[in-house]
Amino acid sequence: MGAALATAAFAGVEAMQNVQKPRPGQVATFAFGGDRNREFMLDGKPFQIRAGEMHPQRIPRAHWRHRIQAAKAMGLNTIAFYVFWNDIEKEDGSYDLTGMRDIAGFIDLCAEEGMWVLFRPGPYVCGEWDLGGLPARLMKTRGAHLRTMKNAEFMQEQERYLEKMAEIAVPRLSKNGGPILMVQLENEYGSYNSPHSHVEYIQWLKAFWEKKGAGPFYLSEGATRRHLRFAVPGVALGLDPAENEHHFQVAWGVNPEVPVFSSETYPGWLRHWGEGNWTPAREVLDVVRWYMKEGRSFNLFVLHGGTNFGLTAGANCNGKMEDDDIEPDLTSYDYGSPIGEQGNLTKEYFEYRDIIKNALPAGAQVPEPPATPATMEVAAFTPVKAKSFGRYFGVGSAHENPPTLEELGQNQGMAIYRTSLPKGPEATLYCRVHDMAQVYVGDRYVGEINRMKGQSSIRLPERGEDGVSLKIVVDTFGHINFHHKMERDNKGIVDAVTLDGQALTGWHVSRLPLTTVPQPRHPKGGRLRLAQSQSACFTAEVQLDKVADTFLDMSAWGKGYVWVNGHLLGRYWSLGPQQRLYCPAEWLKQGKNEVFVLDTHRTEPAPIRGCTERNTEVLKETENANNAW
């Protein structure tokens, strides 16, 4: 079928006439229909999905309603969101579905605000999130294959997780009186590039959800036949992105009798440490104008990015090196989105709103945008240095060879690997570390090994006697979240450590998970003493008369982590572009607030102040990649 005929057979702007909204408890039938089953149909009429992506696990719960209302005021009718498995499942296998993790509560709030939902449970989601949302324990066996039926442990664990997702989602399907229109099966599976990828895995996921009574479904893939090779009959195709008629025709050429839509249209793009700041993709305004002219369904990824709080930020791989390339993502997930990290409505937000609103029928009733949440300044304060850095690490465990952190049951964080060195002349230490390490011989600091720079070795000085200690202090970024290289992204020391080719054995590993505020645990004067430590911990008490959102300016610091009242805001790094960490009002208190800083590149404190907005200076131009297939 040619492009002209396909367009003529498509309902187009007629789909925008269906302005039906979800009403809690009211059943609605969402299905595929029309010519060759290429239409989304809501209660028997063509329906245009106008979605905006936001992730509740990246948004302070107190701001959920504001973000949903802002999406509705832009003329959208649907919220799309990922669920991050590794954030809701605890170490003992139970689930934490409270606060920002209350997935059911978020779906119900969407319905309350009259917004439909595209439910994206994974189990793998990418999303620039640590390991694409998969639990790090699946990496305990080095080289374990993920996202495949050929790994029995993975299949067993993901089925248990999906059972929990079905408990939440199935009662909230539109046919059961909820707002969920479709469930996404997997995410960009055609981009994984693993020899273990196979269509039977997608078929298994479809069968799982069908047994639970769910449907219809969609897949998100790139807009080429290669990326769409795992398409399944009867499953709608979302393209990441679909920006013109050609993209739609490519998808219909693979799966001709299902609806096609743009499941991820990018109004901005992600950023890594060392790149430039966020910039909007202004050319996408014209793409949205085309969607509205043609009545095509779409999802803006992301409408609102939010924040990678804690250790949730993931990483990409740049393909320049065989195994050890990594591009860690920022703590901020602003993305250059129409709704900024703190909920501020950008110039582009109002331009998108005008395009969408002006194309809608009067019955769409687009409301006025909500007010941006208040922000505040916090006067500069300077923390004081706390206990000796080595005292924050646990007593540790003995190993013949250095284990990865996953083998020790830890996801990211820090660790000190120790062994003894033989006496001898200056020598080369080979040490593959994920992701950065500071090396000490005795009490002497020798230097740093940085994976981002392709480093895996360092020269050690002459040792005049046997038994001199070698200490390797490891710090990590999030796991790679895209491409099958994520299967090899264990953290810590990931290979045998050698000195001039001779393996070093007899290791002792002390850990610092960073999942809670570090506490001194090692006895004073113990074996973890680092006389020339390049890292330090700092504390401060900050008095506040009022609370509102703020951004902690860490530009005077090196690289590290900040906790406020026990909440880990995330990583900061002078490398930039991000210099300010978002701190939501709900994590602050009137009166005394406790701030804890762990800096891996400073031993003396510096001032911190609270700002009303994040830093946005571009400084370095970085391209918005836009998944250009």
State the virtual CA torsion across 373, 374, 379, 383 in degrees, nearest 10: -30
Can you tell me whether residue 509 is helix, strand or coil?
strand
Distance of CA 220 to the CA centre of its chain: 17
For 470, the token pair is 């070698």
Q: Name the nearest CA neighbour of 361 among 3, 1, 13, 4.
A: 13
Q: How far apart are CA 164 and CA 444, in angstroms?
A: 51
- Is 396 strand, coil or helix? coil
Within 8 A by CB and 6+ apart from 484, the residues are: 192, 193, 194, 196
Catalytic residue among 264, 327, 341, 487: 264
The pairing of strands 236-239 and 217-221 is parallel
How many CB atoms neighbour CB 284 within 10 A? 21
> Is 341 tagged catalytic?
no
Residue of 188, 275, 406, 448 marked active site = 188
Spatial CB neighbours of 346, under 8 Å, sequence gap ≥ 6: 280, 337, 338, 339, 340
Give the C-alpha separation, 569 to 477, whole Å. Answer: 15
d(C-alpha 262, C-alpha 254), whole Å = 16
User: How many whole angstroms separate alpha carbon 39 and alpha carbon 33?
Assistant: 5
Q: Where are the alpha helices (DSSP H) in 41-169?
A: 64-73, 85-88, 103-112, 152-169
At 574, the amino acid letter reads S
Does residue 36 contact residue 46 with C-beta atoms inside 8 Å?
no
Beta bridge mates, 473: 416, 438
* Cα–Cα distances in angstroms (integers) from residue 267 to residues 77, 119, 288, in the given order: 18, 21, 10
Strands 550-553 and 433-434: unpaired
**Side chain identity at 382, as an amino acid letter?**
T
To the nearest 10°, the Cα dihedral for 383, 385, 390, 395?
-70
> Angle between the 199-211 and 152-169 helix axes, to the nearest 10 degrees?
40
Look up residue 602 and give its two tokens.
Answer: 């400073």
> Cα(306)–Cα(147) distance, rounded to whole angstroms?
27
Contact 496, 381 (CB under 8 A): no
Give whole-number Cα distances, 248 to 14, 324, 547, in Å: 18, 36, 48
Largest CA distance in the chain: 85
Name which of 157, 106, 149, 152 is nearest 131 in CA terms. Answer: 157
Known catalytic membership, residue 243: no
d(CA 476, CA 165): 30
The catalytic residue positions are 188, 264
